[in-house]
Amino acid sequence: MAARSPITCHVLDSSCGRPGRNVPVKLEILNTAANNTWGGLATGLTDSDGRVGTLLDPSHQLVAGIYRMTFQTSDYWASVGVIAYFHPYVQIIFEVAPGAEKQHYHIPLLLSPFSYTTYRGS
């Protein structure tokens, strides 16, 4: 498999059965040494398959810690002409545990206007 970002995402719009494209995605890490503020790591926009091509460089070595991925879902709904939705954005907070820094972390988001699901994918 070609090298890829150690953290990847995939947005699927379950209300129409298609990838969620042009969703702004932001990845941050909790900086416990800086009074628990969130430090920006990467931003991207999902492509026509609902994925961000290279959120982090494949050579990026993850450090253990708490990460937060934010999906600006209101931008997405506006772009597809949906005006009624419940969650203006989705934030998924997950942990890269000590000892697990070399694993891959895939964050799928199954999204519809009044519901969403996420899980640790691969």
Rule CB under 8 A: is residue 16 a binding residue for a second copy? no
Rule CB under 8 A: is residue 78 a binding residue for a second copy? no
- Whether the CA torsion 66, 71, 74, 75 is positive or negative: it is positive
Residue 28 dihedral angles phi and psi, to the nearest 5°: -130, 160
In the complex, least distance from residue 48 CB atom to a second copy, rounded to whole angstroms: 26
In the complex, least distance from residue 9 CB atom to a second copy, rounded to whole angstroms: 14
Interacting residues with a second copy between 95 and 114 (CB under 8 A) = 95, 114
119 is in an annotated binding site: yes
| Sequence-distant (≥ 6) Cβ neighbours of residue 2 within 8 angstroms | none
| Sequence-distant (≥ 6) Cβ neighbours of residue 114 within 8 angstroms | 85, 86
51 is in an annotated binding site: yes
Residues in contact with a second copy by the rule CB under 8 A? 66, 86-95, 114-120
In the annotated binding site for substrate, the residues are 10, 51, 119
